[in-house]
Structures are given as structure tokens and as C-alpha cells.
Structure 1
């Protein structure tokens, strides 16, 4: 537990200066046995992506997974951050300068590329300082310009190496250096060191009791120059080493004795330096091989298969160079499993679920041959692919039902697909099923409205037809009644004429009118009126007979 038995006090500031936005970034993590401090400065003009943030997060993430001060690991972390910038497809070419400080609370080591700087200050003097990878630094080294001129030289930001460059960045890694109580180490972007020379930094640190004071005074110094100089984004991280971790004293061990004796024996024995260096090179490779295999296993456990591929690939190369066939085969086997998982994951992400299922099945077979590495992840992803397929099978079922006009069945299928997608936290499937369900329900609602409108129209048409028929019947009845009334009046008129003719003694004509009127009454079913004419007809006949007899007697 080194951290709790030491005291490192870190503060930082990061401001945009006179720029529209701040594209510097700083982050750090302090773990039980190691701490990592990362600062980066974006060198591109892409406003949509912060290159510095990508770099810092990548290195911190890698360090947290496998904390170490080993040169190989630190170099790989920086290179992976470089690769991450290159992989970004949106926007312009991403570039960044970065500096990293790593400590085990006893020793410190720095890594950098570009012109972001690291300073180690002890007893009011700069003990260590990075050298910018710029044309200006080359001119200083060639003694063509002085250090005082370098801070304002026009080529100070003309870098020949940085993260995100087209080639391979020249990642610089220092040796480990022991820390002492009272040490101060700084991480700076160019916005600080361009405005604040080394002498001023030393003066500020000399007069400061707390790291916050260093930040405040440095910022005040920078801002005083904003009227006469262009102030870039400026970021500064300050760490006061109050107490360095002290290891419990241990007795001399055989290893320590050998470490002292062996060099003497080698010198006395006259062993050549070349042989010693060759042996040390092999030992370094063996150590790095063990680290790569260990890191690969850690990445496998953390389901970080891209990193596992890189570690096992490097392990395979190291094993080949050491002629360790068994370890080379093992590293290759693990690498192939990781590559198969990556391929299956990419296929799953692309929405090719059945193909992904086949790839996971193959990965499972490969994993079994490799000692079941990654088996739990493969099984979970295989189950995930099956669930995705089930969701889309339900969606496809809903689409078929829609084609057949079974909207209710389609809505039920889409709803089931949506609920299943929600259960497995599959947002894309849930969204698609929800959209199709909504569309089907809308179609159902539209069909129902159309059916209701059609039914209403039919009912209105029927009502209109009924009303029309009723009106026609009414009109016909009125016409019929009018005709009957006219006929009855005609019959009455005929009867009255018959009465007039009867009164005039024109009995035969009277009978004709009576009989015509009687026929009309019969047709109108006015039998009582028709019967009332019988006596008149009989009287008219009697009158005719009487007239005939009278005429006969004369």
C-alpha cells in the first residue's frame, strides 16, 4: 500500500487563453502502487473532436488496466493512443503532443512525444526536463540559437514527431529516477512555457508553500502578457512530493549478493562485454515476453480483445526471436481467439446477427482448444446474438402479417419484439419494433376510420333512399287521395246533375248520371253512397214507366 504511506499533492489548471476553445487536456490516476499523470495538447484544428482528450483517456485507461513503469508497456500505451487518433474517421487528421509521468511513489519515469514538457525540480534547480521534438530544439542542439531565443523562435512549434503523424512517432522514455522528499514535478503545454521562462518557474516554485500558489502565480504571469503576446491554451499540472514511500528494510538476500558479486566475477573472469550485453538482451526479451503474456491475459479477463491481440502479437514475435516455439504457438493461439472475437463483435455491431452467431460458434470452438480463454464472453455474446435474431424474427413475422392485411397480428408481433428488445437492453431493435408497431397501429386506426366512414356513408345513403322512398310514397298517396277526392267530387256532381234531370222529368238521362256516379262510388269503395243512389235510380225508372203509360193512354 505505497500510496497511503506516501504523500503526493497534485493540482492543475487548464484555460483557453485567447483561443475560442480549450483543446488541452490533463488527467491522472493514483492507485495503490502506481500513479500516472498525462497531459496532452491538440495540434489539429478539428473543433468536433478533442485529440488531447482522446490521448489522455486512452493512456489512463490502459494504465489502469495494467499499471506498470516498464518501458515496453509505457511505449505500447503511447503507441496505442497514436493508433486511436489514426482510427478516427470523422473530421480532419488528428494530432497531439503528449507527456506522461509514471511513479511507484519511490521512483519516477517520463514518456513524451512532441513539445509538451516535463520538469523535475529539486533544491531550486531543474534536475530533469524534456527536449521538444521541434526544429527549434535541433537548432539549439546545433548551437545555432540560444535557449533564450528558443522560447520565441518561429519554428518552436514545427514538430518532427507527434501522436497521429503519418509515420511512427518517436516516443521518448526516460530512465527511472529516485524521488526525494521536497521534489516538485510539472507537466506543461506550450501555452505555459512559451510565456513563462524556466527562471521564472523556478522563482515561483521557490516562493510557493502550496502547489496551488504555483498555479495562481504562473497564471498571473501569463495573463500579464496577453496585451502584448498571443496567449495559446495553457495547461499546467503541479505535483509536490511531500513524502516518498520508504520500503521496509530487508536483510541481504542471495539475489542481492549475486547482483553485487556477479559483476566482479565477470570482470575478474574476463568475460567479454558483448557476451554480457547479449545475455542482458535475452533477459530483457524474456522479461518483456512474460509481460506481454501477462498483459494479454489481463486484457482477456477485461474483455479488451483489441489490446489482447496486440500483446499476444508482440509476445509471438518475442517468442520467435527467442526460439520459444511452444510459447510462440500459445501466443498465436490466444491471438487468433481474440481476433475471431473481434471479427464476431464487428459483425454483430454491423447488424449481421446470423453471421455473427456463426462466428461466435467458431470462436467458442477455438476457445475450447485454447483452454477456454474468453469462454464466458463468447457465451454471453452468442446468447446476445440469439436474442437479437429472435427480435428480428418477430419483426419479420409482423411484416408478413402486415402484408396479408392482419394488422392486429402484426401489432402483437411488433409489441412482443419491442418487449424482448427492452429486456435485453437492445435499443436499436426496440426502436425499430416500436416504430413498426406505431406504424401498424396507425394503419389499423386509419383502416378503422375508413371503415367507419364507409359504414356511415352507407347508412346515410340508405337513410336518404328511405326518406326519398317515403317522400315518393307520401306524394303518391297524396296524389291518390287527391284523385279520390276529385273522383268523389265528380261523382257528387254527376249525382247532382242526375237530380236536376230527374226534377226536369228526364228520367232516362237522370238514370245514366246516377249509374255513372254509382260506379265511381263503388270504385272509391263508398258503398253507402253508392247504395243511396239505388232508390233514386228506381224512382227514375218508375217515372219513366209512368210517363210511358201516360203516353199510351193518350
Structure 2
């Protein structure tokens, strides 16, 4: 079944002094029907995190513009963005007094298929109606404890070390990159990329239901409003991208 994509990019500074998240959505300059979304949650003191996250966005845009799908696999594109951004972020440590780090989530929509990669605890969700088809795993201490069955979702949200990452861009270790793909997309499917400033306040079902019931812009506004309310004055930076697949008008099918 044919579909088109409705999208929205949104951010909120939360209760932080600085917005260190970065997020972007762009089409390929020469190849119609191809789209990339990228989100990065920066860390590293005053302006250091923002600088790291900005490098992820810049590398994603540059690599996507030169991407040739006939000669390069989607996974190669996604991994090159994270690996090269990681190297650049590490180099900035030698030219500044900051210690910049960042998470990264990259998403590619190409020829009716979706591909994604991530490092850190920013997430990608893939929903079909209100069902969670896929969700990226957090590269964090609590994420690892959950994978080992030693912690549940409720405990993870209250864990005192829930912000400790085991892998991110800019660290001494090479980034841990995990991949996902979906090759049977259909109208009604939706994708959400978001930082922990958003996902920490919602169940999967709440997120999926909101995306299903609203346009991307209305869904983004509602999710940010609820995250701010639930944050109780202590909310982190919020960033998100929504990509919602919808059936085209009958005349366009």
C-alpha cells in the first residue's frame, strides 16, 4: 500500500539553563522519496554538550547529502555518521577545556523501508497503531540491568544511577552502535525519535496512542506539555522527531 509521511520536529529547554539537545530532519537534495532524521542529546558542561550534539547533526547532513544508495548500504551510512561524529567530538577535547559527549539516533526512510541506528539512551520507537513494533535499547547502567532481568521499568525510572551511560559519542571507548530496520511499512505506522527528557515520563502505549490520535504537530505539543507537567519543575531538555505514515488521497494512489 502506498503512503506518504507527515513529520514534525520539536524541542523544549525544560528546566535547564541551556538547550544541549539537537535535532533535525532533512530530505536528500537529489533523490526524491528519501528522508533522514537525527537526534542528539549532548553532555559535557556549559556549551560542551551542545557542541557535541551539533557535530552529530552536521555529520548526518553532510554524509546524507553525499549518500549514494546504489553504492552504499543504509547501515554503512548510519554507522559512518556515528563513528565520524564520535571522532570529531573526541578531537574537540584537545582544542577546548570541555569534555563533550553526546548520544545519537539516526533514522533513514528509503524506498518504502526504514533503517535506524543509535548509541546512548536517546530512543527510537516504531509503532503500528498502538502496538510497539520496535524500541531501541538504552546503552545505560539501568538499561543493562533491565536486559539482565535485575530491574523492571518502574525501578529503572527511580534508579539513582539512571543517567549513567555505558556508551556514548566522545568517550574513550568506541561507540556501541545498534541497528534496526523495517521493510514492510504501511500507512498507520509511526516513528518517534526522542531524548530521555521526553521518554522518561511515558509508557510505550501512551506514546503510541498519542501519535495515532493526533497529527505530528499536535502530538508533539501534547507530549511536551505532559512531560513538562510530569517533570514537576525538574525537567530535562526535550527533543523529538515524529514521522507518521499516512495513506495518500484516493486520487493520488
Q: Is the structural similarity TM-score above 0.5?
A: yes
1:152–1:194 contact (8 Å) kept in structure 2? no
Structure 1 residue 33 displacement after superposition: 4.1
The alpha carbon displacement at 1:175 in A equals: 3.7
User: Whose radius of gyration is greater, 1 or 2?
Assistant: 1
In the alignment, the residues of structure 1 paired with residue 109 and residue 167 of structure 2 have an alpha-carbon distance, to the nearest angstrom, of 25
Instruction: Say whether residues 1:142 and 2:148 are aligned partners.
Output: yes
| Matches of 1:11 and 1:181, distance apart in 2 | 17
CA deviation vs aligned residue, 1:369-422 (integer Å, no higher than 9, x gap): xxxxxxxxxxxxxxxxxxxxxxxxxxxxxxxxxxxxxxxxxxxxxxxxxxxxxx
The reply on whether 1:215 has 2:216 as its aligned counterpart is no
- Report deviation, 1:155: 2.3
Answer yes or no: is 1:230 the counterpart of 2:234: yes
CA RMSD across the alignment:
1.9
Q: Does 1:179 align with 2:209?
A: no
Greater alpha carbon shift after TM alignment, 106-115 vs 67-76:
67-76
2:25 matched residue in structure 1: 28
Unaligned runs of 5+ in 2: 249-253
Structure 1 residue ranges without an equivalent (≥5)? 245-554
CA distance in 2, matches of 1:15, 1:67: 34
Q: CA deviation at 1:36?
A: 0.9
Change (3 A) 1:9 1:158: same
Instruction: Give the aligned partner of residue 167 of structure 1.
Output: 173
TM-superposed CA distance for 1:19, in Å, is: 0.3
Q: Secondary structure at the match of 2:114?
A: strand
Pair 1:60 & 2:61 matched = yes
1:105 Cα deviation (Å)? 4.1
Aligned to 1:199: 205
1:267 match: none
Structure with the higher fraction of residues in helix conformation: 1
Where relative contact order (Cα < 8 A, 6+ residues apart) is larger, the structure is 2
User: Aligned residue for 2:139?
Assistant: 133
| Structure-1 residue corresponding to 2:43 | 43
For 1:282, the equivalent position in structure 2 comes to none
Deviation string 1:292-313 (CA, Å, 9 cap, x unpaired) is xxxxxxxxxxxxxxxxxxxxxx
The 3 A distance-change label for structure 1 pair 127 and 183 is: same
Runs of at least 4 residues off by over 3 Å: none
Q: Distance in 2 between matches of 1:80 and 1:67?
A: 18
Structure 1 residues 67 and 15: CA distance shift in structure 2, 3 A? farther
Q: Which has the higher strand share?
A: 2
TM norm structure 1? 0.41
Contact kept? 2:74, 2:108, Cα under 8 Å: no
Give, in whole Å, the separation in 1 of the partners of 2:187 and 2:44: 39
Change in Cα spacing, 1:152 to 1:243, as seen in structure 2 (3 Å) is farther
CA distance in 1, matches of 2:212, 2:247: 18
Q: Is the 8 A contact 1:28 1:60 kept in 2?
A: no
